[in-house]
Amino acid sequence: MKIIRNILGSLLLGGLLCTSCTGNFEELNTDPTRLQNANPGTFLDPILYGMATTNWNKFNSHTFPLMQCKISMSNTSGVGWYYMSDAAGDGTWTTYYKWLNNIREMEDQAEKLNEPNYKAISLTLKGWIYGLLADSFGDVPMTEACHGDEKIYTPKFDTQKEVYQAIINELDSANQLFVQTSGLKYNTGGEMMYGTDNTLVSGKSAGILKWKKFCNSLRMRTLLRVLDVDGLNAKAELFKMINDPATYPVFQSNDDAAKVYITGVAPEEAPLTRPADYTSYICLSEFFINNLSTLKDPRLPLFAKTATNGTVKSYIGWPSGYDIAPSYNASIPNVAVATAPMNLMLMNYAEVEFIKAELALKGIITDDAKTHYENGVKAAITQWGGVVPTNYFDNAKAAYDGTMERIMLQKFFALIFCDYQQWFEYNRTQLPVMPVGKGVPQGNGMPRRFKYPASLQRTNLINYQAAKTSMGGDDFNVKLIWQK
């Protein structure tokens, strides 16, 4: 697999064109809109923006309908009915490896310039994306991937276990690399996620601490994914992390969450160039509307619009996977969710609290599961600008009841617009229970993974076949090592 390092080329082009010019002529022929030299800081914002916008669109087009929340009103042959195209994961594969190429360049530059914070951020972003790839496909190229400059064009596939172990180890290394007494010297205007520059307050960088929290929160997510996989020591690692917050700080509020704020003004354009496309021939499901209604949840008006039937306005959904389109009007998504300015979520604070709630419920840590559950719910509501009613947990349907079902329902809503996380968590726990509509054909069901891109059979056949053998096949129903 050969992937072009496109950003590096554009970064260097201006410098190459002007190397022989001198004096005023050189100044006149220097394009002020092009970067003249590559450094680790030049890669960071394009990676963050490119991945964040991609993942927002992946949630909207794949996860949202697949998880029986967004429903097409115009056809019954989409992923909401569990029809999966063989090419469904192709864009994910190509885009993620494109940005991994640029992360490798960022890491190389950080090492050359002896910049440990940029090296740590590179390892963090690399762990994040390889985690998404392994969760989506299973075995994937990692050790030999992104080495086209070394003439490795057909990289071998690492097994899932090898990939997750590498992610866990590299995120641990990144945690140790972060230096809070220095910032990011090449991002003088502040990077897109935490606004980190070279500013220090009382001798420390607030942004670097937040990057470190993202690194460790991401490591917790990875360890939870492989909690019951033999040989990865996930339970012990999670216990160690949670009981040593000084060494392993994680998200403590919504302010720590890993999110990219975009203005909607070029070049920070919204994922959907036309927000109206978010609601065209689309409504929300009974599963989505009814659960939020039962919870008396303040997110309902933030996510949905009321529908008018006769003289009655109400929040009402269509049955997911319907066979015959209902004759009544249903709530459509609130277009404000797709309209910039907006935050594009990489990982939120609520997820960390729900991880702790699950670990406490299972007796892996000694914390109070109820406290973490309630913290997670509150964070998930307030991150959208909602206000938690003082009596929210007086509702028996919202109160912590000591079950995984209750934790995972709230975690499900907390993961809205966070790439594929709802899908991954469902395949890990089989929760919350998904409705199967009357129009879903017999034999169709929740996919376990994406198929590998067909192009691999032309460009990397031997390693593709080895991965297929290792995985036990290359179809949507092949279970990954962490799936229930």
Looking at the fold, whether 128 and 66 belong to one and the same domain comes out as no
- 126-164 pLDDT, tens digit per residue, is 999 999 999 999 999 999 999 999 999 999 999 999 999
Residue 140 in 3-state DSSP? Answer: strand
304 and 168 share one domain: no
Answer whether residue 442 is part of any domain.
yes
Q: Is pLDDT above 90 for 28? A: no
For the segment 379-402, the average pLDDT, to the nearest whole number, is 98
Q: What is the pLDDT of residue 5?
A: 42
| Same-domain check for residues 345 and 467 | no
Question: Does residue 99 share a domain with residue 226?
Answer: yes
Query: Minimal CA–CA distance to 474: which of 420, 483, 457?
Result: 457
Stretch among 36-40, 119-123, 192-196, 224-228 having the lowest mean pLDDT: 36-40
**Main-chain dihedrals φ then ψ at residue 246, nearest 5 degrees:** -70, -40
What's the mean pLDDT when you consider all of the chain?
Answer: 93
With cut-offs at 50, 70 and 90, classify the pLDDT of residue 37: low
Same domain, 208 and 300: no
Check whether residue 95 and residue 235 sit in a common domain: yes
One domain for residues 202 and 113 = yes
Same domain, 480 and 351: no
34 inside domain: no
Q: Where are the alpha helices (DSSP H) in 368-430?
A: 369-382, 404-414, 421-429
Residue range(s) defining the domain that contains residue 99: 89-252+452-484
What pTM value is reported for the model? 0.92
Torsion of Cα atoms, 83 then 86 then 92 then 96, to 10°: 160
Residues 370, 300 within the same domain: yes
Asked if residue 53 belongs to a domain, the reply is: yes
- Judged by average pLDDT, the poorest of 36-45, 111-120, 263-272 is 36-45
Whole-number percent of the chain with pLDDT over 70 = 92
CA distance 477 to 470: 15
**What does the pLDDT average to over 290-316?**
98
- Quote the percentage of the chain above a pLDDT of 90: 91
Measured CA to CA, the distance from residue 317 to residue 332 in angstroms comes to: 8
pLDDT of residue 120: 98
- Assigned domain for 402 exists: yes
Is 34's pLDDT higher than 90? no
Identify the sign of the CA torsion 38, 40, 45, 47. Answer: positive
pLDDT in tens, 403-440: 999 999 999 999 999 999 999 999 999 999 999 999 99
Q: Is residue 15 part of a domain?
A: no
Residues 155 and 177 occupy one common structural domain: yes
Mean pLDDT of 324-341: 98
> Do the domain assignments include residue 78?
yes
Mean pLDDT of 96-120: 98
Measured distance CA(294)–CA(217) in Å, rounded = 31
Residue 4 lies in a domain: no
Burial class (CB in 10 A: 0-12, 13-18, 19+), 168: buried
> Is residue 187 located within the same domain as residue 121?
yes
Q: In angstroms, what CA-CA distances link 444 with 82, 213, 270, 340?
A: 6, 40, 34, 36
Give the per-residue pLDDT at 3: 39
Number of domains the chain is built from: 2
| CATH number of residue 398's parent domain | 1.25.40.390
**Secondary structure E strands in 229-335:** 258-262, 282-284, 307-309, 312-314
pLDDT band at 38 (very low <50, low <70, confident <90, very high): confident
Domain shared by 242 and 119, yes or no: yes
| DSSP annotation of 60 | I
pLDDT-derived band at 184, boundaries 50, 70, 90: very high
Residues 345-359, mean pLDDT to the nearest whole number: 98
